[in-house]
Amino acid sequence: MDIETARFNMIEQQIRPWDVLDAGVLALLSTVRREDFVPPAMRALAFVDTQIPLLPGEPGGPRMLEPRVQARLLQSLQVQRHEKALEIGTGAGFMAALLAHRAQSVVTLESHPELARMARETLRRNGVLNARVVEVRPDEGARGYPAEAPFDVILLSGSVAEVPRVLLEQLRIGGRLAAIVGDEPVMQATVFTRTSQAAWSQQAMFQTLAPRLQGFAEKPAFSF
């Protein structure tokens, strides 16, 4: 496989047509080596428009989101160099690496100890892991990370039935949170912006499907 051709095609045929036009985001995707963040057995899928299993021995386990979904989420957050970011659902560590190139610092939380270990090693090998830039912590993330709050940016790299208020409250005023919200068969990628001490706006972006993040409550079933 010609890696650079595959990377170029991913950007031009999948990501750019999905309205990802931010030059900084596109430049990052052309330089941060996505193939280094997928399991070796899945390397051939690194640039394919599909979700990639991160623990092949666990059917239905955690998966890396499609390149176009990751790119659109990153673009929607409009991360600035002076900002502090929190990611929930480290997975392979690829989104943490992208955030680290745009934010001042990143904390990323992962509930699966093996994934946290693997992501930490991959980030270190790729020259990203640095106490001032990225910190990988084993945690489900449903309560956020109040010890480091407030954050300018929070990214949920997976889906939730609804975004807990405790996470929204960890945004700085003007801060943004991106999440994939809802239930199958259709979920909605949404950006929440904190507009005041007690108010948030929200903007629906696109429909997709994503695996559930662990530790987040489901909506109670409706009953008569």
| Contact assessment for residue 86 and residue 105, using Cβ atoms and an 8 Å cutoff | no
The yes-or-no verdict on residue 216 having pLDDT over 80 is yes
Q: How far apart are CA 133 and CA 125, in angstroms?
A: 14
User: Quick one: 3-208 is in which CATH superfamily?
Assistant: Vaccinia Virus protein VP39 (3.40.50.150)
Helix (H, G, I), strand (E, B) or coil at 53: strand
Query: Looking at per-residue confidence, does 8 or 57 come out higher?
Result: 8
Residue 141 makes CB contacts below 8 A (sequence gap 6+) with 88, 89, 109, 110, 111, 156, 213, 215
Q: In terms of C-beta distances under 8 Å and separation of at least 24 residues, what long-range contacts does 44-50 make, across chains too?
A: 44/1, 46/6, 47/6, 47/7, 47/9, 47/10, 49/14
Torsion, Cα of 136, 138, 141, 142 (10° steps): 180
- 27: part of which helix (H) or strand (E)? helix 23-31
Per DSSP, the three-state class of 159 is strand
Give the tens place of pLDDT for each residue, 7-49: 999 999 999 999 999 999 999 999 999 999 999 999 999 999 9
Smallest CA-to-CA distance from 137 within 126, 127, 153, 123 is with 123
Task: Note the pLDDT of residue 128.
Answer: 86
Q: Could you tell me which residues come within 8 angstroms of residue 14 by beta carbon, excluding any fewer than 6 positions away?
A: 49, 66, 67, 68
pLDDT digits (tens, 9 = 90+) for 63-103: 999 999 999 999 999 999 999 999 999 999 999 999 999 99
What's the pLDDT tens digit per position in 118-169? 999 999 999 887 655 678 887 778 999 999 999 999 999 999 999 999 999 9
pLDDT (0 to 100) of residue 188:
98
What are the domain boundaries of the chain? 3-208
Average pLDDT, whole number, for the chain?
A: 93
Q: What are phi and psi of 10, to 5 degrees?
A: -55, -45
The reported pLDDT for the residue numbered 1 is 64
For the cut 60, the answer to whether the pLDDT of residue 114 exceeds it is: yes
Dump pLDDT digits (tens) for 171-187: 999 999 999 999 999 99
Name the band, by pLDDT with cuts 50, 70 and 90, for residue 224: very low
What pLDDT score was predicted for residue 57?
76
